[in-house]
A and B are shown apart, each in its own frame.
Chain A
Amino acid sequence: MKEINFTVTDPLGIHARPAGILVKEAKKFTSKITVIKGDKSCDMRKLLALMGLAVKQNDSIVVQVEGADEDACAAAIEAFLKENF
């Protein structure tokens, strides 16, 4: 299992539209991707659940990736987060 720690710098946080893009990215892989913020967590493939986390600027999240393609997936997600959020 790979784990990514990330702090959101985008002033608007992970809101609807960019969240959708994140979900799209997650769907490219077969690994199970879990997003954790505080005591809440969700599957990164579920857009509504991801929005429900209400991740804002300066919030820290943890992304856990587990599965056959976890190395590639984690690398891609981490790069994507840094680029977009």
Chain B
Amino acid sequence: MALDYRKCAQEIADNIGGGANVVSAAHCATRLRLVIADNGKVNKEALENVDGVKGMFESNGQLQLIIGTGTVNKVYDEFLSITGASAASKEDVKAAAAAKQPWYIRLLKPIGDVFVPILPAIVASGLMMGLVEALAKIPGLGFGETDWFAFLDMAANTAFAYLPVIVAVSAARVFGGNIFLGAVIGLMMIHSALTNGWNAANGYDVWYLFGHIKITDSYTLGQINQLGYQGHVIPVMLAVLFMSKIEGWLHKHVPEMIDLFVTPLTTVLVTALVTFTIIGPIFSGLETMVLAGAEKLVANPIGSCLMGALYPATVVMGLHHMYNVIEAGMLASKGLNTWMPIASAANFAQFGACLAVGLKCKNQKTKAVAIPSSLSAALGITEPAIFGVNMRFFKPFAAGMAGGAVGALVAAFMGIGASAYGVTGIPGYLTINNALLYTIVLAISGGLAFVITNVIWHEEEPKKAAPAPAPAVAAPTNAVIKCSAGEVIAPAVGTVIPREEIPDATFASGVLGDGVGINPTEGVIFAPYDGTISSVAESKHAIGITGPGDMELLIHVGVDTVAMNGDGFAPTVAEGDQVKKGQVIMTFDRAKIAKANHPDCVVVLLTNSDDYDGVVCG
């Protein structure tokens, strides 16, 4: 059944204290991201149980609700209409949350924020490239020579060839700039008047804005290399960040009358100068260094192993989108993307861990999230599995890291790689150069994570449940007291003795009411009928319970055990609780009672037995 978006949004709004408590709202590919004014008004347990919410966590000062691809935007729209909040730009959300974030997160987060919205474009292009190239590789088909191939290849690689434009538009949205000005900056950086960045090795021309004042041997003041930024990401983001800041400042300070032409003109001119003379040269240099560093790390098996373990952690931080840069770099420099098998091992391990949770858990809600999430992870989109399942229980996440590490190690030893980037997991078969070895890597990483998760992860019992008595005992079914009001089932397992034989004169005399004693064989007390707990003794050893026909039953564990002052007794109910027949209401430690030299006879007395006719005990 399709999700009722409006109902889902309404329930979310209800459980976060209403629209008034929302500072701002935004969404990414899978998550609804909210900044909440008063976290005390958020009912987390209820939120997790809202139909449509697959998981929830707090990160970077935001409350993030995992809803799912293709669904989150619809819920988001309904959410806005319900709460009356206007569509907050990502900038508002970030600014509101920024106060709560550590500096390094604030630094890294925008990278993920920029990349998540453009994933569809990258995934579409990546898959298409993979398919087209796989077809071209089939021997004897001659597909690579056809016009179809040339056409499809052009269509497929568009998103990559013009990546800076897509990044610039997305970045302008994230940083709060005008997206069309952002597009201008992106286009400028790959302008056809510049030499294509991939062809830098063939040489390029240089403009000298301020003449020939040498700063170093290789750098002249005001030097602009006539080289496009094809394949670059970070310089584009920085240029657009700079642009957005200038634009925002100008809007505030330029008189409204001339704002429309002064602001865009100044923004674009200043940004162009700063981008090509400062940001560009510095960061394309730095990016090359980062790339080299990561390539160095994955160039040897130990580094690859480390990378396989750390990969999911970087997904959590939203850093993994930056790896496209590294992959593109690998393809450019070596023609083989050896990063992909490492990422695949890490992702497939999260799939294995998530699947193990899905198969092992009893909780239907967990299962309903874990199974589809694991399938998504198998296709390389791991966010639902990581955020919705594995990280929540943590152990599966750790198992996934272990599986990823081993898988990455194996992949590095075998030296397999892909011919494209943007896909991992099963779609990775389209781009991998050796399907058999790739299968082995996936089987090892996924399988290992699956097995480890199965061994170390155990589903937590629901919070309210009694601490499991060990060994588990079935509730008795034999009635020990019968009267006109109903019957009392034995509250403990053991030998039933007549009231007169209870080793205490007062109880035995019947002044407290008629009943029986039970010499217990297990330290568990069960509710003797459906009723209400009317008292739990301060010293925990006695429970009063009111039942059908106002029967008032006293269950007193042991004799003189009041002196133990609660040590050894663990009632699982409180005064006023409704209980069901056979429900565990107390556990007690028989050894401790014996040690304290008290009989552990469970006294079961119908304290108002005088009120009923035909009371039969035993």
Contact = CB atoms under 8 A, between A and B. Distances in A.
B562 A48 contact: no
Nearest to A13: B538
Interface string A20-47: 1101100100000000000000000011
B554 interface: yes
B607 A47 contact: yes
Contacts of A47: 512-513, 544, 552, 554, 607-608
A67 B556 CA distance: 33
B513 A15 contact: no
B573 to A, nearest CB: 13
A27 B610 contact: yes
A21 B506 contact: yes
Interface string B515-540: 00000000000000000001101110
B507 interface: yes
B511 A21 contact: yes
B546 A17 contact: no
Nearest to A45: B608
A54 B507 CA distance: 20
B91 interface: no
A20 B506 contact: yes
Given A48-B534, A48-B546, A16 B554 contact: yes
Contacts of A48: 534-535, 544-546, 552, 554, 607
A51 interface: yes
B200 to A, nearest CB: 83
Contacts of B593: none
Contact of B562 (A15, A24, A27, A49): A15
B332 interface: no
A60 to B, nearest CB: 17
Contacts of B542: 15-16, 51
Interface in B537-576: 537-539, 542, 544-546, 552, 554, 556, 562-563, 575
Interface string B482-512: 0000000000000000000000101100011
A49 to B, nearest CB: 7
A20 B546 contact: no
Contacts, number: 67
Contacts of B511: 20-21, 24
Interface residues of B, number: 25
Interface majority SS (helix, strand, loop, mixed), chain B:
mixed
B512 A23 contact: yes
B535 A51 contact: yes
A contact face: mostly helix, strand, loop, or mixed: helix
Interface residues of A, number: 18
Contacts of A15: 537-539, 542, 562
A68 interface: no
B512 A24 contact: yes
Given A48-B535, A48-B607, A52-B544, A17 B512 contact: yes
A75 interface: no
Nearest to B559: A17
B419 to A, nearest CB: 76
Nearest to B556: A16
A1 B557 CA distance: 38
A43 B114 CA distance: 70
Contacts of B512: 16-17, 20-21, 23-24, 47
A56 B565 CA distance: 12
A72 interface: no
A14 to B, nearest CB: 10
A4 interface: no
A76 interface: no
B575 A52 contact: yes
Nearest to A47: B607
Contacts of B534: 48-49, 52
A17 B506 contact: yes
Contacts of B538: 13, 15, 54, 56
Nearest to B505: A17
A83 B605 CA distance: 25
Contacts of A20: 506, 511-513, 554, 605, 607
Contacts of A23: 512, 607
Contacts of A17: 504, 506-507, 512, 556, 562
A16 to B, nearest CB: 5
Interface string A45-73: 01111011010100000000000000000
Interface of B: 504, 506-507, 511-513, 534-535, 537-539, 542, 544-546, 552, 554, 556, 562-563, 575, 605, 607-608, 610
Interface of A: 12-13, 15-17, 20-21, 23-24, 27, 46-49, 51-52, 54, 56
11 contacts: A15-B562, A16-B537, A17-B512, A20-B511, A23-B512, A47-B607, A48-B534, A49-B535, A51-B537, A52-B575, A54-B535
Given A12-B562, A15-B537, A27-B610, 10 more contacts: A13-B538, A17-B507, A20-B513, A20-B554, A47-B544, A48-B544, A48-B546, A48-B607, A51-B542, A52-B534
